[in-house]
Structure formats: C-alpha cells, structure tokens
Structure 1
Amino acid sequence: MKILVSTDIEGVAGVVHQQQVRAGNPEYERARVLMTHEANAAIAGAFDAGATEVLVNDSHGDFRNMPAELLDPRAHYVLGKPRYLGMMAGVDQGVDAVCMVGYHSRAQGRGILAHTTNSFAFSRVRFNGDEVGEAAMYGALAGEYGVPVVMASGDDAFIAEHQPLFPEAVFVQTKRATGQTSGISLSPQAAREAIRAGVIAALRRERPRPYVMKVPATVRIQTQTTALADLFCQWPTLERIGADEIGFEAPTVEAAVRMVNCLSAMSSMLR
C-alpha cells in the first residue's frame, strides 16, 4: 500500500496568522516545524496501518518548508517547484490513497487564513460553477488519477466545506475558526495524536471512491484587482468576462489546475 501525504500549513494546530506562514518571519520558523510534525504524525499513521511506502508532499508556498532532517526517515520527500501537479505531486507514482494534512478553507471562506492558491491574485475560483479551494481542486486532480482522498485535517470551516466532496473520508479538526486570523486550537501534541489515529482509521476502512469532477471544466476566476485581470488576459486563450473576472475551458482537471498555477505565477509581475 502506497500513500501520498500532502501537507499544507494554514490548517496546522497553533497557526492563525500570516506571519506564521510566510518565510522571513521568526514565527514562520516555528510554524514550519509544527507543519513537519503533523506530516510525521500522518506518516506514522500510514505505516501503522500497513503502508509499505509513503510520499510526503510539501504543499505550501514555495514547496520547501519542512526541514528534511526532521521528517520521518521512512518517507520520501516531494519538494520544490515548479512541478506540474503542484500540491498533488506524487499522485502519479502509483499511490493508493491521499491524506491531506494542514489544509484550509477556500477563498472567501470563513476559515483561518482562508484563500485559494494565491491570496494576492484570486478572490474566487469556480470550477463548473462551484466555488473551489485547494482541497477541491487537488482532490479532483487525484480523482482523475483514480486515487481517493481518505483523510484530511484542518479547521472546522475547512471540514464543513469539504465533507460533501469527500463523504467517506476521515476528517480531523485541529482548531475552530473564530475569524480570519483567530481560532481555538488543539495543542500540537493533541493534534498529532488525532492525525495519526485518523490516518490509521482511514486506511483500515474500505477504500472510498475517488472524487470525480465533470470535464471539460468551465473555470471562472475573480481576481483581486482589474489590473490582474488585464495581466492574465495577455494569455490568448483566456476570456475577459468582467472587469475583475476571467474564464477558460479546460479539457481535464489537470489542465485546469496547471492554468490556475500559471496565473498565480504570473501575478508576481504586479506585486
């Protein structure tokens, strides 16, 4: 049994503020260690449940946050960018299931540090008319490879948004959102124990069906500024729908996700 653990940081216990998730801040150095230990909890749970191989994907920001020397040595580390499959890199390596650790609410959601891919660039992202966050996009990408999401952790808003998409997955609540940058959190130790137990429970169940999104997909993106819409529509195949809204059609979920990530990278021109 081969498992992919995709680890973000905003949903990690004890993380509530932008300074904790952006490199160059002293609090980030502490938060990246908290992130690593939650990844280790998931790795340990996977091996406890009988996994023979675990890939752990560093899925935050520049994809090189977790100190390699602190990771469980039994796992293989997927890190660095650019990479075509982003937060789901490794799903193409013959994995049987995905665990999402430290994930968060979508842009305009009520969760702690809610955003979708790039808070500077995107105000809302819709696939086939539905607002999506990172878990929805990447869960659908995993589904396109025939791989189900079996476990996910984050705050209560993240869980409420994504339980309908992954109804058979085990969800672990690490904290309760009381605002964009405030919440009530489990202790790091309690969160790790819950994540480890959640992964064990998820992998000992019958494997759920993958989340499948209808394709071709219609993608609509509301940008944070009209200048960003100006910039993105330099791409010839993108359509200007409104002052701050663009759209395109994607033949696959992978194509949609890759375009979103390309636009995110383009947005750095206007920072």
Structure 2
Amino acid sequence: MTKILISADMEGATGVTWPADCLPGTPEWQRCRPLLTSDVNAAVAGFHEGGATEVIVNEAHMTMRNLLLERLDDRAQLLTGRHKALSMVEGVQHGDIDGIAFIGYHTGAGDEGVLAHTYLGNSLTGVFVDGVRASEGLLNALVAAEYGTPVVLVTGDDRTCDDAARWAPDAVGVAVKDYVSRYAAVCRTPARTAADIRAAAAKAVALATRHDPEPPRERLFEIEFDAEHLAGSAALVPGVEQTGPCRVAYRAGTMYDGIRCFKTVTTMVSAAVEEWYG
C-alpha cells in the first residue's frame, strides 16, 4: 500500500507565465485551469502506473479552488477549498502519507524564476529559515519531514527544479518551462509536459517510503518586506518581533507551529497593503 499526497500550486503549471494566468476569476485563469488539471492528472496516472494505491490531491493555490474536479482522474480524490491547518500540505500531518509531490511549484521571493514569490505575490521580498532563503517548496518540505514523508516529485520551471535540488535532492524533477524573466518562459506543450510528468511520477513511486520523522527543533524564521508599515503589521502577531525597518523574526519549536505562524503573518500583511503605495 502506497499513499501519495499531491500539493498542487499553479504558478509553476504548464503554460502559466503571467499573474492573470493564475488569478482566480480572470479569463486567463479559466484558460489555464485545464493546464493545471492536466499536470495533476499526469502525476496521478504516473503514480498509479508506478504502483501507488491511493492518491489525494490538495489544492494549494490562492483560493484553493482551481482544479477542475469534473476532469480529474477518477482514481484521485480532491481536497479543495480553505481554510486548512497546514494549508499547502494539508493531510501530511495524519502520518499515513508515504510520499508527497509538489506540482506547479515555483521559486521563492528574491530568487529568479517565473512568478517567483513566497505566499504573497508582492510585498514580501525574502523569507529565511535559520539563515537560509526559503521558497514555499523548502518550507513545505521541512513540514513534511517532521511527519516522515519524503518529497518524491517536483514540477515547475527549470529554476524551481534547481531550487528543489537543495531541499529534496532525491526527488524527481520535471521542468515544464524554462525561465526567461519573472513574466516570460519558454513553454513545453501540454502533451509533452503530461508525458514527462507521467513518466517521472511512475519513477518517483520508488522513493515513496516513510522514514523516521525529523525530530522537531527550534528554528529561526526571518521575513523581509518592501515597506516598514508591513513589518509593523506583522509584529502584531504574538511572538513576532520587528528586528529592522522592514524585517521581522520569530522562533518556533516545530515546523507545524512555524508554518502556521508564517501563514498568520502573511494574512496580517495582506490586510495592511494599500492599493497604491503597498
């Protein structure tokens, strides 16, 4: 019995290069939803071909209502909507996930990559865990490790695959497009990326073996913003301290607590952003 959790983001999906492509409600988002669903379906098919017995897909992008359920592979189950205790990796905390796949992922704020950011599309310029610049992939991989679940597959642009080599060196990576700028990429066609993802997922099942959970340890989280008032807003969260004009920090004894505090900080900051001056 092998159970796989897919965390499906959208910025790193096939063909997505522009904010409107993944902004719920736009015509471009509607056009790109089938592309994201195709990437996920390819992973589901590949995992089953490789011997997985169960695949659950967790929506991980913005409103977390992006995938087309009516077009989803019937062998998968879909966890859609919000709010969820562990957001992008909801479900990993139950301790029965043998491997996790990050589909449609991207690089973090401050790094090169198509639509690079960390949780917030703008305003946040860097996230650091114990001094290391962190993408969403790194953050979520650290959470999964506390439950003994390895990252087995990562898809996104080529820079995302390079980033994943730092925090999931054994995972199979699939580049569905090559970075040109934050809003431009050389994209493969859906037929090609589906074939690549399917083959990679079939191979990745061999990596889906739960290991001993990483012992929780205190970690230092530091977050930089592009405006002072956003740091002040973040510091309203208990335990978060403003350490510079545009920087805050906090400590957490587990990644479970750390990622939940991070989500709270980004929610506070989102509410503090002004339309014209950020």
TM-score after normalising by structure 2: 0.93
Partner of 1:203: 205
Pairing 1:149–2:138 present: no
CA distances 1:140-159 after superposition (whole Å, capped 9, x unpaired):
10111100001111111111
Give 1:91 deviation, angstroms: 1.1
206 and 140 in structure 1: CA distance in 2 versus 1, 3 angstrom threshold: closer
- Equivalent of 2:168 in 166, 169, 176: 166
185 and 210 in structure 1: CA distance in 2 versus 1, 3 angstrom threshold: farther
Partner of 1:25: 26
5+ residue gaps, structure 2, are 274-278
Q: Distance in 1 between matches of 2:63 and 2:149?
A: 25
Mapping 1:82-161, distance limit 5 Å: 82-93=83-94, 94-161=96-163
CA distances 1:5-45 after superposition (whole Å, capped 9, x unpaired):
11111111211000101012100101122111111111111
Q: Distance in 1 between matches of 2:99 and 2:68?
A: 24
260 and 206 in structure 1: CA distance in 2 versus 1, 3 angstrom threshold: closer
CA distances 1:213-251 after superposition (whole Å, capped 9, x unpaired):
972010000013111111111123211100000000001
CA distances 1:139-188 after superposition (whole Å, capped 9, x unpaired):
11011110000111111111111202211111111110010000101101
Letter in 1 for 2:44: I
Give the 3-state SS of the residue equivalent to 1:92 in structure 2: helix
Q: Distance in 2 between matches of 1:243 and 1:75?
A: 46
Q: Distance in 2 between matches of 1:111 and 1:211?
A: 31
5+ residue gaps, structure 1, are none
Q: Distance in 2 between matches of 1:211 and 1:35?
A: 31
Query: Is the 1:217–1:252 contact (alpha carbons within 8 Å) kept by the matching residues of 2?
Result: yes
Question: Root-mean-square deviation (CA), in Å?
Answer: 1.7
Query: Is the 1:150–1:207 contact (alpha carbons within 8 Å) kept by the matching residues of 2?
Result: no
Partner of 1:53: 54
Query: Is the 1:84–1:258 contact (alpha carbons within 8 Å) kept by the matching residues of 2?
Result: yes
Query: Is the 1:117–1:264 contact (alpha carbons within 8 Å) kept by the matching residues of 2?
Result: yes
Mapping 1:173-188, distance limit 5 Å: 173-188=175-190
Query: Is the 2:114–2:181 contact (alpha carbons within 8 Å) kept by the matching residues of 1?
Result: yes
Which stretch of structure 1 is more off in the superposition, 131-140 or 68-77?
Answer: 68-77
Letter in 1 for 2:86: L
Matched residue count: 271
Which stretch of structure 1 is more off in the superposition, 50-59 or 208-217?
Answer: 208-217
Partner of 1:226: 228
Give the 3-state SS of the residue equivalent to 1:173 in structure 2: strand
Letter in 2 for 1:72: D
Q: What is the identity percentage for the equivalent residue pairs of Structure 1 and Structure 2?
A: 31
Query: Is the 1:142–1:210 contact (alpha carbons within 8 Å) kept by the matching residues of 2?
Result: no
Give 1:208 deviation, angstroms: 8.4
153 and 211 in structure 1: CA distance in 2 versus 1, 3 angstrom threshold: farther
Query: Is the 2:16–2:32 contact (alpha carbons within 8 Å) kept by the matching residues of 1?
Result: yes
136 and 206 in structure 1: CA distance in 2 versus 1, 3 angstrom threshold: closer
Query: Is the 1:223–1:244 contact (alpha carbons within 8 Å) kept by the matching residues of 2?
Result: yes
Partner of 1:15: 16
Partner of 1:79: 80
119 and 174 in structure 1: CA distance in 2 versus 1, 3 angstrom threshold: same
Give 1:85 deviation, angstroms: 0.7
Partner of 1:236: 238
Give the 3-state SS of the residue equivalent to 2:57 in structure 1: strand
Query: Is the 2:47–2:204 contact (alpha carbons within 8 Å) kept by the matching residues of 1?
Result: no
Give the 3-state SS of the residue equivalent to 2:137 in structure 1: helix
Q: Distance in 1 between matches of 2:166 and 2:211?
A: 13
Q: Distance in 1 between matches of 2:152 and 2:65?
A: 24
Query: Is the 1:148–1:210 contact (alpha carbons within 8 Å) kept by the matching residues of 2?
Result: no
Partner of 1:247: 249
